[in-house]
Amino acid sequence: MIIDVGNIKIGTDFIPIQTMIKNSTKDITLTIDKIRKLKDAGCDIIRITVPDEESVIALKSIIKESVMPIVADIHFDYKLAIKSIEAGVHKIRINPGNIGNEERVKEVIFALKDRGIPVRIGINGGSLPKHLKEKYKDEVQIMIEAAKEEINYFEKYGYDKIVLSFKSSNVQTTIEVNKKAKEIFPFPLHIGVTEAGDLIDGTIKNSIGISHLLLQGIGDTIRVSLTSSEFDEVMVGKRILESIGKRSPEIDIVSCPTCGRTEVDIQKIVFDFKNKILGKKFNKKLKVAIMGCVVNGPGEAEGANFGVACGKEQSVLFKDGKKIKVVKNSLILDELLILTKEYENE
């Protein structure tokens, strides 16, 4: 099944990357600016929390200016879901653990049918329905049963534009429940490990969980949840998809781990270089090598379009396997950006 979320399709070979705005969306200018930058960084769908009436008003303005489809994230108040739909949102996300009884869900369904937009039923291990927790002991089973209950409402009222997600802070639970969901339900799956931690812990957990599932053909869209910025979530998501062959990188940066021979701050050069080229498009797939020394640098970087092998005070720039010039270490980043510009699409 393929689900349209604005101009993005969920359920094809293309795996859309999602993130969620972390500032208050009542700051409309900041939110719109961030959405534009996130699209340039590689994001495909953006989610926005709608906790109150004032947020619905802001949502209307944001939708008009957004360069990406917007998902309204709804908890507790089903009326906010309906008002978000009426505001023109491209999809809503509801949680069976707190959205309410059948009558409330029915009203949301009718609003969705009127606009023809999809819903994500988000099952979160941290907010499961109380009656199911009392009935079952296994978390995976509780999550599956929660989805069945909610889906039954949608089937009863004749609506099937559904995306499902099953998320836990435990990697193994996330993998297990999504495997079962794939067997049971015909709907696309939004995958990710929730409440995964900071940039390091969260990256590791999501990389393991998301990659494991995608390599088995499970998962149609991803969100990397991090206690970090939205941009970090998108970049980690991109790297996961690139590393398992689901996306081809615009630019592949090869950098050494450094050692006692290293005389420059390779980590800073790589960090600064990545930030400077963020969102740029190139006329070919590039491989750039940023190496810490002249001993093994050029050899290890064989096959790179261009790069640098750093020395104590000066460093060697090379292109297509050949040395082209020697530069002061203070100019390394500038020289790499000059070489990159040759391949940029105007």
Supply 181's token pair: 């969901």
d(C-alpha 192, C-alpha 185), whole Å: 18
Domains belonging to the chain, first-starting first, are 3-243 (3.20.20.20), 251-341 (3.30.413.10)
Note the pLDDT of residue 301: 65
Residue 172: what are its φ and ψ, rounded to 5°? -65, -40
Q: What sections of the chain are H helices per DSSP?
A: 28-41, 53-65, 78-86, 102-115, 130-135, 139-156, 171-184, 199-214, 230-243, 266-277, 297-300, 332-341
CA-to-CA dists, residue 269 to 30, 56, 202, 227, 234, angstroms: 29, 42, 24, 24, 21
Note the pLDDT of residue 296: 66
Note the pLDDT of residue 173: 96
Note the pLDDT of residue 269: 94
**Local confidence pLDDT in tens for the 346 residues of the chain:** 999 999 999 999 999 999 999 999 999 999 999 999 999 889 999 999 999 999 999 999 999 999 999 999 998 899 999 999 999 999 999 887 678 788 888 999 999 999 999 999 999 888 888 889 999 999 999 999 999 999 999 999 999 999 999 999 999 999 999 999 999 999 999 999 999 999 999 999 999 999 999 999 999 999 999 999 999 999 999 999 998 999 887 788 888 888 887 889 999 999 999 889 877 888 888 999 999 887 766 676 677 899 999 888 899 899 988 889 999 999 999 999 999 999 987 6
d(C-alpha 345, C-alpha 290), whole Å: 22
d(C-alpha 157, C-alpha 46), whole Å: 28
Note the pLDDT of residue 235: 92
Note the pLDDT of residue 175: 97
